[in-house]
Structure 1
Amino acid sequence: MKEEEKIEATDQTGKKYNYWPLVLPVMVTAIVAIGVYVNNFWGLPPSRKPSDWAAFATYVSGTVGVAAVVATLMAFVITLKQQKKLIDSQSDMIIKQEQQLDLTRQQLEGEERRRKVELVYNCAVNIIPPVVKELERQRVMRSDYFFDGFDLVQEVPPDVNIHQTVGELFSDGGEYSWLDQLDKGWLICFGEALTGNAYRLGVLVSDCLYEAKELEDYFRSVIGSDNFSMIECAMLFKKNSVNSGFSRHQRALRIVDGKQSNPAAQFWHDLGEKAFEKPTE
């Protein structure tokens, strides 16, 4: 809280009210009432009758007592007003503290937002390009490299050209329909190997776009249309896999679910439906 706010609060709540203006009239009333009573009955011996003392008590309560009650009520009203001022002052301080907390929270959120955007731009410049190059390298690799790694040669139909590149398996003119003939286990293993790099790049770009949408054109330019088509196929293939986060990535990368406009994307979409069961709602 600012220093002037503290002083203002002290002025409003720390000032003590002087109750002597209420006490003095009661004292004067008591002196006058008792003086009049003594003046009228001066010289008489103290009474031994309870009725006389009862009459004296009634007299005192009717004079001094009434004045004391009135003064007490006035003091009570003054106390209530002071408490109201104190409550109002505390309410004002609470409101100002909440405003200060909101301002601090906004500053922290702004700083956190700035830090995230800074990390995204750093990722866009220093991380995305090498990952794209790795994907480019994979696209020109021959698919039989993966056959050897998974011992899939005997699973591939004999009329399939096993020397085609990985990129051709994701292009409209490629020969990829034979993948649908693989057993589910082999299909998942081979599909994961083929789509892994493209999928990871898609997730990375998607996370960046959630923090900095203005980088979409930059990413599409750096990645290229062929690589982005491969990313799209990879996302569609793994959309039903565990923790795929497809809905989030779909919105960021503008990927259409369901029926696809090109045969390759549609094939990998259907292949993913076969490989991974849809999660139950």
Structure 2
Amino acid sequence: MRLLRWIFKKLRKFYDVYNTKRGRLVVNFILLAPIPVLFYVFNFKGFGVSDDPGDWASFGAYMSGTVGVIALLATIDALIVTISQQDKLLDQQERQISSNDSHQRRMAAYSRAEKVFPLLLENRRSELGENACQWMKSVGLAGDFFTAFPVGTTFRDLLKNPENAKKVLDIDAGPSLAVLANKIHYENYQLLIFIKECLEDAEELKGYYLTLLGDDKVLITSTLAFYREWLEDVEYARLVKLFGVLDLSILPGAAESYWAEVGAKVKSSNVSVSLPSG
């Protein structure tokens, strides 16, 4: 058993030496160079030493045409090994750089989640708590649809309450509906983009974001439903999965289903809507 381990150790050491540029060149030359010499001796002159200069000239010409070629092939083989080792080294460096970059982006995602997102969420919650009817009047939206909403209705009420979402759907297609819907969802989607970019670098933060959102997960579900008409089906499904929420836009009677219809209505009206980037 010890003998086998010793043999294996020596073979491994030989392989490590052989797998270098110099080792491969030397070993290949030592192993291959004697072959043409022995071939010459056995086939032409035997083992005697000739005194004829012509024999030595013939032997020299023979060696230059055989051993020289072998040396060239051994050199080429060593060069190939060197290039292969350099490629492996470059691959390792690229993986290391990629790993470092991924780690930095992950740490940055954690930093943004801890320091930036709570402030953005608090600000957005404050905006959603504003009186929607007063805002609509302040920006000069025309129409008698204001009477459909209770006086104290907030943007959050429009976003979360199915009855209020249905009343928004009942507004005639046109600038008033587009402006109101855009007011409610544009900043929400900007917030979703922030979360999406963080989750793409650190998906394990999903639970953290959903916990902070709490009952305001409707920021995700209703806003995704509204923008569904502007998103490819594959992208929409990817976002629903990424955020870890249910697709409530297909649930009859849910606020999300009404917002999906509002989005379709706004898009079909050809009224310009500001679309978030990302």
Alignment TM-score, normalising by the size of structure 1: 0.70
Greater mean alpha carbon deviation, residues 245-254 or residues 112-121? 245-254
Higher-helix-fraction structure: 2
Structure 2 letter corresponding to 1:143: A
Q: CA–CA distance in 1 between the matches of 2:72 and 2:248?
A: 65
Question: How many residues were matched structurally?
Answer: 233
Q: CA RMSD in A?
A: 3.4
Q: Is the 8 A contact 1:143 1:166 kept in 2?
A: yes
Q: Which residue of structure 1 lines up, in the alignment, with residue 145 of structure 2?
A: 156
Q: Which residue of structure 1 lines up, in the alignment, with residue 10 of structure 2?
A: none
Q: Which residue of structure 2 lines up, in the alignment, with residue 85 of structure 1?
A: 74
- Which of the two has higher C-alpha Rg? 1
Q: Is the 8 A contact 2:162 2:258 kept in 1?
A: no
Q: Which runs of 5+ in 2 are unaligned?
A: 1-15, 269-278
Q: Which residue of structure 2 lines up, in the alignment, with residue 218 of structure 1?
A: 208
Q: Is the 8 A contact 2:109 2:198 kept in 1?
A: yes
Q: Is the 8 A contact 1:209 1:252 kept in 2?
A: yes
Distance 1:221 1:88, change over 3 A: same
Q: CA–CA distance in 1 between the matches of 2:166 and 2:253?
A: 14
Q: Which residue of structure 1 lines up, in the alignment, with residue 52 of structure 2?
A: 29
1:14-43 CA-partner distances (Å, limit 9, x unpaired): 99999xx99xx9x95356xxxxxxxxxxxx
Q: Which residue of structure 1 lines up, in the alignment, with residue 185 of structure 2?
A: 195
The one of 6, 9, 12 aligned to 2:21: 9
Q: Is the 8 A contact 2:225 2:256 kept in 1?
A: yes
Distance 1:108 1:145, change over 3 A: farther
The structure with higher relative contact order (CA 8 Å, sep 6+) is 2
Distance 1:121 1:106, change over 3 A: same
Q: Is the 8 A contact 1:155 1:182 kept in 2?
A: no
SS at match of 2:262: helix
Q: Which runs of 5+ in 1 are unaligned?
A: 32-63
Greater mean alpha carbon deviation, residues 99-108 or residues 185-194? 185-194
Q: CA–CA distance in 1 between the matches of 2:69 and 2:252?
A: 76
Q: Which residue of structure 1 lines up, in the alignment, with residue 223 of structure 2?
A: 234
SS at match of 2:250: coil
1:249 paired with 2:246, answer no
| Identical positions, percent | 14
Distance 1:103 1:137, change over 3 A: same
Q: Which residue of structure 2 lines up, in the alignment, with residue 178 of structure 1?
A: 167
Q: Is the 8 A contact 2:109 2:201 kept in 1?
A: yes
Q: Give the C-alpha shift of residue 150 in structure 1.
A: 3.3
Alignment TM-score, normalising by the size of structure 2: 0.71
Distance 1:72 1:247, change over 3 A: farther
